[in-house]
Copies of this chain bind each other. A is one copy, B any other.
Amino acid sequence: MAIAADATRFQFQRDRILRAAAACFNQKGYSGTSLKDVARQLGLTDAALYYYVKNKEELVYQCYLRAAELGRRAMERARESGGNGFEQAFLYIRNHVEIMVGDAGPVAIMSEVPSLKPAHRNEILSVSRRHSLGFEQVLSNGIRDGSIADCDVRMTGNAIMGAINWIPKWFHGDPAVAMQVLETFPDVLTRGLRKVSG
């Protein structure tokens, strides 16, 4: 029974585990979720998880890496779209929000990055930084090409990405709300960027 074209059962299970873990971390908090909690959700025993991850630290790391990668990809797709700065910013937000409330499943809030071991922490921070810088560039481009009003790109980026990153705090999977978020967030978050006059 093939799971997917090329994904092995191993990779498939690992991914399920990451999603279950992300869900637990977001819902029960990091210190509130034991490996047993994660395992139970999958009908497994805690020890079985060690077949897929080295330890809890790596489980968290993988969750965060997944979250960071999803964000990065959202940005990448937006920048490849070829629109002007405003359009790219809008598209990025739309893409990322889609991921946060969509079928990609729960995306872990990165609360415990500081307690990762240095190598892991640095990798996450590196991806995150690339992500933020990418967005700031999009904003700068928009200012240059006249599609975005002049603003402090660093702060504007922080504000917008904060709003997105916070979503899992209050969004708990209700599809009706998901739709609402998708419809309003990109607009709400970009309304302030629009250049009023030429």
Chain A residues with a Cβ under 8 A of chain B: 27-33, 109, 111-115, 151-152, 154-156, 158-167, 169-170, 180-181, 184-185, 188-192, 196
A-B contacts besides A30-B111, A32-B114, A162-B164, 16 pairs, CB < 8 Å: A27-B114, A29-B113, A30-B31, A31-B31, A31-B112, A32-B115, A33-B115, A152-B188, A154-B180, A155-B181, A156-B184, A162-B162, A162-B167, A166-B166, A189-B192, A191-B192
Question: In the complex the two chains form, is A188's CB within 8 Å of B151's CB?
Answer: yes
Cα–Cα distance between A185 and B155 once the two chains are bound (Å): 7
Chain B positions within 8 Å of A27 at CB level? 114
Question: In the complex the two chains form, is B159's CB within 8 Å of A180's CB?
Answer: no
Question: In the complex the two chains form, is B170's CB within 8 Å of A163's CB?
Answer: no
Q: How far is the CB of A68 from chain B (nearest CB, A)?
A: 14
In the complex, 9 of the A-B residue pairs with CB atoms within 8 angstroms, ordered by the A residue number, are A30-B30, A31-B112, A151-B184, A151-B188, A152-B180, A155-B181, A156-B188, A158-B163, A159-B185
